[in-house]
């Protein structure tokens, strides 16, 4: 039993010597380092409970606390404050122990407040980013709408222009009173049939006619009556023609019939049919 106690005593003695050597090494390294690493060494020195006096430990805590406060390293500062309170408690310095507890409470409040502010800033940043995305999306959507609106307006205007040009072209080829081909249109169609005849020997016939004494109708009954007669005559002529036959107004009360793929005999038959 005595041997065991002696061995235990020797072990503690050697452990204490090792701690003293380690403390010496840490102290010698303080002059070579700065900043956070120095604060960590000071914290380690203050943590050796048996090798250093309480006043020396408190001094190391104060130095470490000053460094980490400037660096805003709240995690290490929290450990230092806890260690400082522990040292005061072990030294039975109730007044300073109480002060250290109050300091730790104030520190905890400060850290909590900073965490809340940081969380709010993070939330505000997220809101700002989200709003930026929303605004960006709305801007892009607005630009796309403007581009689409301009394209659609331009397309509609283009379609209207094409339609108007087509209508104008049709009007330029129609007689405004009877809505049949005018002289320009009928001449183009005659030229086309002439080319067909030259290439393929496709015969066609032309029939011309007018209204007898039409001037006296206008003079005696007015132009409205004359217009009515012209329209009625056109309807009569069209009712006796084939789908491919074309009737045109040559001028005044004169009309011309273009009968594609019709020989002379066929043209005479068509003319006689209309005359009757």
| Catalytically active residues, by annotation | 253
DSSP bridge pairs for 181: 174, 248
CA distance 255 to 237: 10
Question: Beta-strand (E) ranges in the chain?
Answer: 204-209, 246-251, 254-260
CA distance 266 to 193: 16
CA distance 269 to 241: 11
DSSP 31: G
DSSP bridge pairs for 256: 208, 248
Question: For residue 13, how many other CB atoms are within 10 A of its CB?
Answer: 10
Structure tokens at 105: 């409470």
DSSP 241: S
């Amino acid at each position: 039993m005595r041997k065991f106690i002696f061995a235990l005593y020797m072990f503690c003695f050697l452990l204490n010597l090792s701690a003293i050597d380690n403390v010496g090494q840490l102290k010698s390294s303080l002059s070579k380092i700065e900043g956070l690493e120095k604060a960590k060494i000071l914290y380690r020195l203050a943590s050796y409970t048996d090798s250093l006096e309480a006043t020396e430990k408190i001094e190391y805590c104060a130095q470490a606390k000053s460094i980490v406060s400037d660096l805003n390293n709240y995690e290490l500062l929290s450990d230092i404050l806890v260690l400082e309170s522990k040292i005061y408690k072990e030294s039975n310095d109730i007044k300073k122990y109480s002060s250290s507890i109050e300091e730790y409470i104030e520190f905890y409040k400060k850290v909590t407040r900073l965490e809340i502010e940081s969380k709010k800033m993070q939330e505000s940043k997220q809101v700002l980013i989200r709003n930026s995305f929303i605004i960006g999306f709305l801007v892009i959507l607005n630009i796309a709408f403007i581009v689409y609106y301009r394209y659609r307006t331009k397309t509609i205007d283009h379609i209207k222009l094409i339609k108007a040009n087509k209508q104008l072209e049709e009007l330029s080829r129609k007689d405004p009173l009877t809505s049949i081909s005018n002289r320009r249109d009928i001449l183009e169609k005659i030229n086309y049939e002439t080319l067909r005849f030259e290439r393929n020997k496709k015969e066609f016939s032309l029939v011309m006619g007018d209204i007898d004494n039409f001037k006296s109708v206008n003079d005696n009954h007015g132009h409205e009556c004359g217009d009515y007669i012209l329209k009625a005559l056109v309807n009569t002529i069209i009712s006796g023609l084939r789908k491919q036959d074309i009737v045109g107004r040559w001028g005044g009360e004169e009309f011309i019939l273009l009968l594609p793929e019709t020989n002379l005999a066929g043209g005479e038959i068509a003319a006689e049919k209309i005359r009757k």
